[in-house]
Amino acid sequence: MLKLEPRPQASGLWTYGSPLLALAITVLIGVALFVALGKDPVRGLQVFFWEPIKTPYAVGELMVKATPLLLIALGLAVCFRSNVWNIGAEGQFVIGAVVAGGVALLADKTTGPWIVPAILLAGVMGGMVWAGLTALLRDKFNANEILVSLMLVYVATLVLGYLVYGPWKDPMGYNFPQTKTFEKVTQIPRLMQGSRVSIGLLLALAGAAALWVFLFRTRAGFAQQVGGLAPAAARYAGFSSRRALWTALLVSGGAAGLAGALEVAGPIGQLTPYVPAGYGFAAIIVAFVGRLHPVGMILSAILMSMFYIGGELAQSRMGLPKSLTGVFQGLLLFTLLACDTLIAYRIRWVAVKGGK
């Protein structure tokens, strides 16, 4: 019989091999799903893993999706490494988009290019304030940050809905719940003609590099992780667990808010009820599949973007439900959790004697 046996120490091989095994299992289960739905599994895999990188334009769209996922995941990595469970990045993303959109609505024909940095800064501040509410309640009242941050997602969505259905609604928008289209001057600069990839991609990559330096090459990064994981040890060493809490949530909220600003002032170009796209929740999977490491999260953000685009293509070209994207995301997370067992345990074949 097969038996799980504790390892004397965590396996370095499976620490990084587990996500690859989880991806392989996810693909196999996906093939079974395509067969069960009566679809060609080869065509299904092609739609998810080849079509998104088939042409330069497709790669550009992949980067457009990966940018907010990576930015939010980078902020979440700071939280999770500090043992702060911010599950409400989606709400911080939405509020960042709302505040950035409010600044963008102030622009007119005479506004100069300075408005773009103002929009991005507004998004960062909006996300930080929203995450700061969670930090405040955890710090002052010991409220559970998981529940608080998650509930604030719904509050953020209601705030967005109130504005686009009410005071910010475009009077010339044929009664659709949306703001007016932002002025061209507010658009986030694009990296190249004919592509929607913006400078947001460069900001995300710069953020990944900055996070690597902060976590692994600075005393502050070390203190941040110790302050979250072992508050007593941190106090003994002179580190502040309270500072770790606030730093983690403010950095995470600011990153999510920046992603929201880049989204509304970039591909969307206005505020609508559809700003909440689930990036904040998908970024949790991106963070853990990437092992909370900046390089790993870059790769996992690209993978998650393939799931998003593949799901859209599967819906239009194969007649599959839109929910298939969420199915693949969930499968990847659950198989990762299962495969992570191999880090602390090994599977051994044990002979059973006497039929027992």
Q: Percent helix, strand, coil in the chain (nearest 5)? A: 70, 5, 25
pLDDT in tens, the chain (356 residues): 778 889 988 898 898 899 999 999 999 999 999 999 999 999 999 999 999 999 999 999 999 999 999 999 999 999 999 999 999 999 999 999 999 999 999 999 899 999 999 999 999 999 999 999 999 999 999 999 999 999 999 999 999 999 999 999 999 989 999 999 999 999 999 998 888 999 999 999 999 999 999 999 999 999 888 876 777 777 777 788 888 999 999 999 999 999 999 999 999 999 999 999 999 999 999 999 999 999 999 999 999 999 999 999 998 889 988 888 889 999 999 999 999 999 999 988 887 765 54
Output the pLDDT for position 225. Answer: 86
Phi–psi pair at 292, nearest 5 degrees: 55, 25
354 residue type, one letter: G
**Cβ count within 10 A of residue 277:** 16
- Cα gap 288→280, rounded to integer Å: 13
Output the pLDDT for position 209. Answer: 98
* Mutual angle of helices 115-141 and 145-165, in 10-degree steps: 140
3-state SS string over 137-155? Answer: HHHHHCCCHHHHHHHHHHH
Output the pLDDT for position 354. Answer: 57
- Cα gap 194→9, rounded to integer Å: 51
3-state SS string over 323-351? Answer: CHHHHHHHHHHHHHHHHCHHHHEEEEECC
Q: Are 127 and 251 in contact (CB under 8 A)?
A: no
Q: 3-state DSSP call for residue 37? A: coil
- Domains of the chain by residue range: 68-281
Q: Are 111 and 80 in contact (CB under 8 A)?
A: no
Give strand pairing partners of 4. Answer: 347
What is 218-233 written as a DSSP string?
-HHHHHHHHHHH-HHH
Enclosing H/E stretch for 6: strand 2-6
Cα dist. 149→34, 41, 217, 229, 230 in Å? 36, 39, 30, 20, 22
- Cα gap 190→197, rounded to integer Å: 6
352: left (phi over 0), alpha (psi -120 to 50) or beta: beta
Cβ neighbours for 347, distance < 8 A, ≥ 6 positions apart: 2, 3, 4, 5
Q: What is the DSSP letter of 174?
A: T
Beta strands, E only, 192-287:
none
Maximum distance among all Cα pairs of the chain, rounded to whole angstroms: 88
247: left (phi over 0), alpha (psi -120 to 50) or beta: alpha
CA 168 to chain centre: 27
